[in-house]
Amino acid sequence: MSDTREPMPANGPYGAYDRNHSGAGAHRTALILHTIGDVAAGFLGLWILLYLLEANQGNVFVDFVHGVADWLAWWSQDIFTMESEGVRVFLNYGLPAALYLLIGHGIAARVRRV
């Protein structure tokens, strides 16, 4: 029996990757921007999780994640000044995490359309 079906088209968010395609550079740039936004939001989310689970603040890994999160969220420190420390950390680090995701994905989508 012969198979007469045509191959399925690529449905990924970045389309089929073809080095000869003129938009390959734009797709690669979009992927980089998308990934940077995801990594930044990931560090902020990890710090929120470590803080809320009361991770050992003296641990080297926890200190590293806290330092990166502070560096990424320097502009949003003390926007919210709640009585509850957990809610304050969640909001002051969650806001930049959400913005990094939105901005990273938004710019990547815009670059992909170019």
Q: How many domains does the chain have?
A: 1
Q: Identify whether 89 is part of a domain.
A: yes
Query: Tokens at residue 95, please?
Result: 């806001």
Calpha distance 59→47 (Å, rounded) = 13
Which positions ≥6 away from 70 have C-beta within 8 Å?
A: 77
pTM (predicted TM-score): 0.74
Q: Identify whether 76 is part of a domain.
A: yes
Q: Identify whether 55 is part of a domain.
A: yes
What is the per-residue pLDDT for 13?
56
Q: Identify whether 62 is part of a domain.
A: yes
Q: Identify whether 49 is part of a domain.
A: yes
pLDDT, averaged per 10 consecutive residues of the chain (114 residues), comes to 64 52 79 94 96 93 95 88 87 94 93 85
Residue 70 belongs to domain spanning:
40-113
Q: Identify whether 8 is part of a domain.
A: no
Q: Identify whether 21 is part of a domain.
A: no
